Each structure stands twice: as C-alpha cells, then as structure tokens.
Amino acid sequence: METTDVGTYAMVALTIGLLVFIWRMRMRNIADSQDDPAVAGQDILDGAAINPEQFDEPDDAALDEMQELLENAAESQGLTYEE
C-alpha cells in the first residue's frame, strides 16, 4: 500500500467522520428547537455593566484614541480631519 493510498483513505475516513458529526449535531439542534423554539427577545441576556456611570464622561485617553481613529478614517477616505 502506497503512501498516497493511505493518505486518501485517511482523508475519506476523516470526511465521513466529520459528516456524521455534523449530521448528529444538526439532528440535536432540530430536536432542541422543536422542544423550545428560540424567539428573539425571549432569552435573558446577562451582560450589564457593573458601573455604567463610568461611560458618562470619557477620560482623556479615550478622547485621544477617538481623535486618532477619526483622523485615520478621514485619511483613508482622502479627507483632512480638523478639530
């Protein structure tokens, strides 16, 4: 058996294995969606900022970074950014 034959068999086996895995995952997802369909807005998102007041007034570093981003964006469009 040549090396190319071994490689071909390995690739075929890997492809079949991945197809079986994808098929099983698909079937599980279909079963989960039939039990309890996902509807936008029904899920509870937990990601609120711990201290949202920190975003009310930006610090100097954030303002400098925003200025740099605006200058780079204007430059990429062939414009000049002035304060």
Q: Is residue 27 part of a domain?
A: yes
**pLDDT-above-70 percentage for the chain:** 90
Mean pLDDT of the chain, nearest integer: 86
So what's the pLDDT on residue 16? 98
Residue 32 domain-assigned (yes or no): yes
- Helices in the chain by DSSP H: which ranges? 3-35, 60-76
Weakest mean pLDDT among 16-20, 32-36, 63-67:
32-36
Dihedrals phi, psi of 43, to nearest 5 degrees: -85, 150
Please indicate, yes or no, if residue 6 is contained in any of the structural domains: yes
What contacts 53, CB < 8 A, 6 or more positions away? none
Domain count of the chain?
A: 2
d(CA 71, CA 81): 6
Model pLDDT, residue 83: 63
Residue 12 lies in a domain: yes
Q: Note whether 31 and 58 are same-domain residues.
A: no
Q: What are phi and psi of 12, to 5 degrees?
A: -65, -45
In-domain check, residue 45: no
Tokens, residue 26: 């698909």
- Between these two residues, 32 and 72, which has the higher pLDDT value? 72
